Structures are given as structure tokens and as C-alpha cells.
Chain A
């Protein structure tokens, strides 16, 4: 059936095309004329708009300048990923080399390592860092005493306000061979060792300290979603004989599910987007093998070894992947929830 309809349509199209060929010349003139009128109208509109809103545009000017200089100029600078950049010759005059920097990265010994570490850290953060605030919010929501609730909240938000440098300093001091964590390990009959020198422990330390720092803060949005749940639903559940646990499963969790789904999808869009600041504060040569991620590798190769073009290529590769993941997750979110970032 479908094919037939399509075929008939195509035939009709052909016929009308043939007919229009006769008048084609006058048609094009007409079209050009219309376009010219349209264009002049647009120009007029823009002129009128500039006159009316000139002050608004004068306000937009510094903002646009900022974005062009500090965001779009680096985008132009990113073309050195396709060149062999040397500071002496500048961005434009350095010779083009095509995709050589990219293939060099893909073939390098570090490619598998940084991809694996970036991916694994993302996955661990998704598995532990994502559900932790939800569970915490659910537990806090079950507490009826306002003062207890407030105190717990205030304390658990605390680590969020400690600067990253200090947090990493604490991690370093506590995981040191005579640090407090080792003291506790010894207490339970273990042997002490410098935990940050053990490659197997870097990812757990990184992820758990992240959970520690952000669990309370991450819970805020869920607590808001929880407080928006209609209390009548709980009353109804109670009348139906649901205990507290049943109420959580059948009222609370469905109530925050939409928020969770949206945040999860947005989180997926940031997969492989592992920041370098915490990594380069924590790592040391003994554990490069398990701690080097794409962004920290960009920093090391670019700003410590001055391999400008290569490191720009690695960074660009990461940006492109992140961008594609974001678009993908946004599409999914739009399909499922009708919610999107743009």
C-alpha cells in the first residue's frame, strides 16, 4: 500500500515539474524579486531594531566581546590541533599536518590508559556518587524532628565548602603512612602503607572522597523534590495499611523518580568529562598508571612538556566526545521526559 501511494506522489511531482519548466524563466524573476523585497524588509527591520534598542545593544557589546575573546578565540586557537604549532611561528603560520596529532594519540601507549581511567572513574562516580545523595535524601526525609534534620543537613553540607586544595591536602595527610586512616587499619590488625602510593587504591580514594564532599550538597535538589510530594498520597497509603517502608517504596520513590531520571541523563551527558584539578592535586608518578585521565594528560603534555599541538588535539578529541554524549543524552531526555537543556 505504502509503496503505491509513494509512487503516485512521485509521478504527480514529475508532472508538475514538467509543467513548471515552461514558466521557469518568469518564475525565477518573480522569485528573485520577492527575495529582494524580503531582504530589504529584513534590513529595514534590523535598522529599526538597532535604532530602538541601541542602548540594549550597547549593553550586549561588552558581554559579546568577552565571549568572543575568551571563548571563541580559543575555539579558533584549537585549529593548532591540525597543525604543528611552534610559538615562534604563531597559530596561523604554523604548518598544517591534518590528523597527524590525532593518529599519534590514538596509536600512543597512553591512549588506552587514559581512556580506561577516564571511563572507569566516570562509571564509579555514576555507581556510587550518583545514588548516594538520593539515599541520603530519602533517609533524611524520614526524620520528623526538625532540629535534628537541620543539624544533620548543616553538618553534611560542610565538606562542600572546603576548597579543593584543602580537601586534597586532607586526603594526602590522612592516607599517609602515619596518617589517621592507617592508624585505624593498624588498629584492626592491618599493616600500614602509604595509600596514595598504591595504584589500586587511587580510584576508590578519588571517588569516595568525592562522595564525602558532595553527598549533602547533591541531596538538596532531591530534598526539594521530596517536599513537593503531595502529603495526601501518604495519608492514602497509610489508610491502605502501608507501613513506613512500604510508603517509601510506593509513594516517595515514584515521587522523585522524574527528578532522578533527568539528573541521571544529564549526568550521562557528562561521562568522560572528568576534571583534572583534583587528579593533579592527588596523583604522583607511582600511580600515574591508574590515575591519569584525558584532561590531566592534556595538562601534562601541554603545559609541562610543551607539546602544544598534540595536547590540543587530545583536548579537542575529548571536547568532541563530550559534546556528542551531551547531545545524545539530551535527545534521550527529550524523548523520555520532554525535558531538554535547550
Chain B
């Protein structure tokens, strides 16, 4: 029974080869970027074709990146947005999820409908933009935080998590005299840590990746989050943003670009294999909802 037929060996062989090839395709671009960033810039510019190891070794590009005040500032801004934003996100989402997971609340279904509707129909880009300008958030970092205080999808994930907690727990707490706030913060939240972890990740990644709102709402460059700086360097090819004040050696540009990518992507890529489990859990909870 355990003996493999030749056709099966062929089948497995093909399968494994294909998966390996595929992994290489997914991995190589990042590897190329890493190698390119460590290369000597003039040698790199003259080179054609694939790279397997750095061409000459130079960390010039990195010192260039770290000397760039815009990147440091961008990191700080993004850090602020993530810390303040995610705290607000989790607080608001927890409140909403608590309300929507209680029984015997008369207007619950109405509130649910009001919330769900926004998932499927929105006023659109321009009215939202006019609103944010209208309430005086233009050119303020809060324009990136307040309008995204709750993601409805995440709210539903948290609600699913809350509903999995046995109702008898909060009934007994109520008999002991705990009110709703106490129940939420002392009983429900400590018991929902796995869901909180998932949402912490989801919200952080969303803030980390976001660049468009920053582009339309912020005018002052000192407020720019890191992704918007990256956009200037990578997409608009602005050497001014790339090299900061020091305008020497334009030819180093190409490798500086790659070094910037590494500096802004590596932290996440290092952390993520350890967090993978939580992300996947989030997908599963979200899928159960249907």
C-alpha cells in the first residue's frame, strides 16, 4: 500500500519542483533588493541580469538612508499614527462589538443595520474629502486617525469573538454588581486576547501601509508618514527626497532606492513569520461570519 507507483513519483516530483520554483519567484525580488542595496553603486549600474551576491560590498547606500532626515521623521510620524491610531481603533471597536454582542438590547438590530450598511455603500472619495476638510482636519495628523477609527470588518471579527464567551460569565458578574463597563474591561476583554491580538495586527498593518489619505490630507512635509516618503523616493523618483539635503553623488541613487526599501520593509518581514499564526486566525474568524 505504501509503495509508490512511478506515476505518483512523477506527480510528486513535478509538484515539488513547481512549488520550489514558485517560492523562488516570491522570494527572489526581495533578495535582489537586499543584494542590490549592498552593492557598489557604479558596479551595480553597469551590471545586467540576475544578481546572486552583492557586486563589491558597500554600505554607502545605507548611511545615505539613515542620514536622510525625511526617513527618520517619517518613521516617527508613522509610529505616532500607529500607537495613537491603534489604541483608538481597539477602544472603539471593543465598545461597538460589546454593544452588538449583548442580548436584550432593543435597538441592537437597528444599530447593526446602520453599521453594516456602510460596508456596502459609501458616499465616495470626494464627499469624504470635503467632510474631512470641512471639520478642520486638513493638514493635521488626526486626518489619518479619526476617519479610520473603526473598520467595520474588524468590528464584526471582534463581535464574533465576544459572542463566543459564555453568557453565564457576565450574568454572574452582574449579580456581583458589576456594570457594563466593568464587564467589558475586566471580563470580556481579558478573555478575548487572541482576537485583540489579531485586530492589533490588522489595524497596525493598515496604518503602516496607508499612504493615500496622507497624500490628500497633509500638506506639510514634516507630517508625512513613511509610506508617503517612500512614494516620493520610489515612484516619483525624487532625488531630493532620496538624499535629503546632501545633494552629492546622484549616481548612488539606484542603490539608495533599494536600501530604502530594505530599511522600511525588513522590520515587518522579520516580525511577520512569528505573527503569521495570528493573521491566519483572523482570516478564519472573518470567514466564519458568513
Contacts and interface: CB of A to CB of B under 8 A. Distances in A.
Interface of A: 45-46, 49, 52-53, 55-57, 59-60, 62-64, 66-67, 69-78, 80, 91, 136, 139-140, 142-143, 148, 151-152, 154-159, 161-166, 168-170, 172-174, 178, 180, 183-184, 186-187, 212, 215-216, 220-221, 224, 238, 243-245, 262, 277, 281, 295, 298-299, 302-303, 308, 311-312, 315-316, 318-319, 323, 326, 339-342
Given A56-B105, A326-B120, A158 B27 contact: yes
Given A63-B150, A158-B269, A216-B26, A166 B264 contact: yes
A47 B216 CA distance: 45
A136 B268 contact: no
B130 A77 contact: yes
B19 A140 contact: yes
26 contacts: A49-B106, A55-B179, A57-B105, A60-B96, A62-B92, A63-B111, A66-B150, A70-B149, A74-B124, A139-B15, A142-B15, A156-B23, A158-B27, A161-B205, A165-B211, A165-B231, A165-B235, A170-B261, A180-B32, A215-B26, A244-B12, A245-B11, A295-B125, A311-B126, A316-B123, A342-B116
A271 to B, nearest CB: 14
B253 to A, nearest CB: 11
Contacts of A184: 49-50
Nearest to B184: A59
A62 B176 CA distance: 27
B106 A74 contact: no
Interface of B: 1, 5, 7-8, 11-12, 15-16, 18-20, 22-23, 25-27, 29-30, 32-33, 45, 48-50, 92, 95-96, 98-99, 102, 104-107, 111, 114-116, 118, 120-131, 135, 146-147, 149-150, 179-181, 184, 205, 208-209, 211-212, 216, 227, 230-231, 233-235, 257-258, 261, 264-265, 268-269, 272-273, 276, 280, 283-284, 287, 290
Query: Main secondary structure on chain A at its contact with chain B?
Result: helix
Contact of B149 (A46, A66, A75, A212): A66
Given A56-B99, A63-B95, A77-B123, A142 B12 contact: yes
B127 A180 contact: no
A221 B16 contact: no
B234 A172 contact: yes
A169 B257 contact: yes
Nearest to B106: A49
A311 B126 CA distance: 7
Nearest to A225: B287
Contacts of A53: 102, 104-106
Given A55-B179, A161-B269, A155 B126 contact: no
Contacts of A46: 106
B130 A71 contact: no
B150 A155 contact: no
A281 B210 CA distance: 13
A78 B127 CA distance: 6
B126 A315 contact: yes
A39 B32 CA distance: 71
Contacts of B131: 69-70, 73-74, 77
